[in-house]
Chain A
């Protein structure tokens, strides 16, 4: 273990702690004025545009952005950059399509969660419960995956025991989320976003410091591409190794489908005014595209370093830790490690506070659980639920199970299949109803999980594509075959001429 690697990370942890304590202080004042639930789960809708952009980006970018993505780009070349490219639209798509609608409707209805809005729009407790439970299951698995990935890179690059590496950063993020709530999450996300960007530059430095220029790297990569049994590193589909259908699927999975990610969508309810959305659209587009594609390019360019190799059969997830530990001095290695750690912690904190809101707001408060109890109960139970959920994910990370790993793999697409169509239907299709939404969820999940479990080849398409097609068909057919929604809450979602008569 090198203390020279650890000290920058300890300074980072200290910075997060200070930011969260500051946020907690502010949160206490706001909670007194505007109510605990709105403050703890939505920061009293106080986010300015730049912070909104940073928290969206930090929530979306995760440990896989720093580890798996670059590793696969090292393996497949620019073809994996093609896979990552849909993220040039991710930045503005959610905010432009749903940002102001969510802001408008959530203010008028007092909703503080995405499930609140879905339950209200479709007038269905069952649909709300299904969405809340699915969110809880998938988010717990995703947090577990983030903890495992973050601990691995921390332990490998810093020479730490994985147990202590995990305990160190996981306990910090669980604690500041528990006691600081949404405001602490977004403030620490902003700090993490800057450090993620810095991490990209340090990784690039690790590559370029020992080469004369960029052209020499590309020449080295080109020469490797001509070797037998190597993919075409400079081609758009790795010489056929990456099916075009998979690359097209990425525009659903990490492109248009990201509209349906609830951990991102909830941020569209937490800003101050319309200008904040506009600012965030521009900033997020620039930052998301630059960083997420930039990181993949780092992995591609690392192929040009002759000394950077992996043992036969070794996972490409080891590439970035190896790059950090072999190419940088201990202090710079420690500073560079902050990037992926920041990505992990920012994603976990967002998932954790949203998962806690699913329990408190979506499952308990929607049933009037706190109305007959002392009001201060909601403070205690909210914090307790956040803490317990965080500890459960930490527990799974310390004792990984195959089931949790499998759910994590399915989580990203699974969440999109649960929330994308109900959200789009809720806000854009007056004829959409609860039965249609439920049918889309059941059909979508069934197709998706079947394909993933049996590893069915569907012409190279990612499982989310046929699942989404099936879910869409189910949504339309069942909605049209059953009665439209005509309840009073429709006035919040559609102007008078669009509501079913």
Chain B
């Protein structure tokens, strides 16, 4: 079921509710985890390439280093992002305001 919490966005009823500061902390954590996942994939790519670049092994004509680093790296990135999203990222409303924001504070442009 959709609940509209602002005129411009929609949220779903199974989203958690947090304070603005909590939401900032969560996004910060998610950003760090994303960064580390990207670093790990980068290390995997270069590690597998470096270790196998001199190998003459091939599979159906494709060199081993290519299969591991490029194809393997792509598969790893897809798996990593699925796990990241399903297990680490949280669903919560993004229509929040800092707790000390006055009700009268004008945050939106009201132009026709």
A residues lining the B interface (CB < 8 Å): 31, 33-38, 44-46, 78, 81-82, 85-86, 88-89, 91-93, 96-98, 100-101, 103-104, 107-110, 112, 214-215, 218-219, 222, 234-236, 248, 251, 255-256, 272-275, 277-278, 281-282, 285-286, 289-290, 293, 365, 370, 375-376, 378-379, 427-428, 491-496
Contact = CB atoms under 8 A, between A and B. Distances in A.
A100 B41 contact: no
Contacts of B97: 108
12 contacts: A33-B7, A46-B8, A46-B9, A101-B27, A104-B94, A110-B109, A235-B53, A255-B42, A278-B89, A282-B81, A289-B77, A491-B98
Given A88-B45, A491-B98, A494-B24, 20 more contacts: A33-B7, A36-B111, A81-B66, A81-B70, A92-B38, A96-B31, A96-B33, A96-B37, A96-B38, A101-B27, A104-B96, A218-B61, A236-B69, A273-B93, A274-B94, A277-B89, A281-B84, A282-B78, A282-B81, A428-B31
Contacts of A286: 78
Contacts of A33: 7
Contacts of A277: 89
B85 A214 contact: no
A285 B112 contact: no
Contacts of B70: 81-82, 85, 293
A428 B63 CA distance: 41
Contacts of B63: 78, 234-235
B17 interface: no
A192 B49 CA distance: 34
A96 B108 contact: no
Interface of B: 6-12, 15, 20-28, 30-31, 33-35, 37-38, 41-42, 45-46, 49, 53, 60-63, 65-66, 69-70, 73-74, 77-78, 81-82, 84-85, 89-98, 100-101, 106-112
A100 B94 contact: yes
A352 to B, nearest CB: 21
Nearest to A217: B61
A465 to B, nearest CB: 14
A378 B111 CA distance: 8
A285 B78 contact: yes
A38 B109 contact: yes
A215 B49 contact: no
Given A215-B60, A273-B11, A281-B81, A97 B34 contact: yes
A156 B66 CA distance: 33
Contacts of B7: 33-34
> Which 10 interchain pairs have the tightest Cβ spacing?
A96-B34, A218-B61, A495-B21, A110-B108, A110-B107, A491-B98, A278-B85, A88-B77, A92-B81, A375-B112
A220 to B, nearest CB: 10
Contacts of A46: 8-9
A33 B8 CA distance: 9
Contacts of B92: 274
Q: Output the residue of A46, A85, A235 with the most chain B CB within 10 A.
A: A85
Contact of B28 (A38, A82, A428): A428
B91 to A, nearest CB: 5
A293 B34 contact: no
Given A104-B27, A215-B60, A109 B91 contact: no
Contacts of A101: 24, 27-28, 31
A289 to B, nearest CB: 5
Contacts of A234: 63, 66
A272 B6 CA distance: 10
B42 A34 contact: no
Contact of B24 (A36, A104, A272, A378): A104
B8 A85 contact: no
A223 to B, nearest CB: 12
Contact of B91 (A78, A91, A275): A275
A36 B66 CA distance: 50
A434 B60 CA distance: 55
A108 B61 contact: no
A281 B62 CA distance: 29
B112 A376 contact: yes
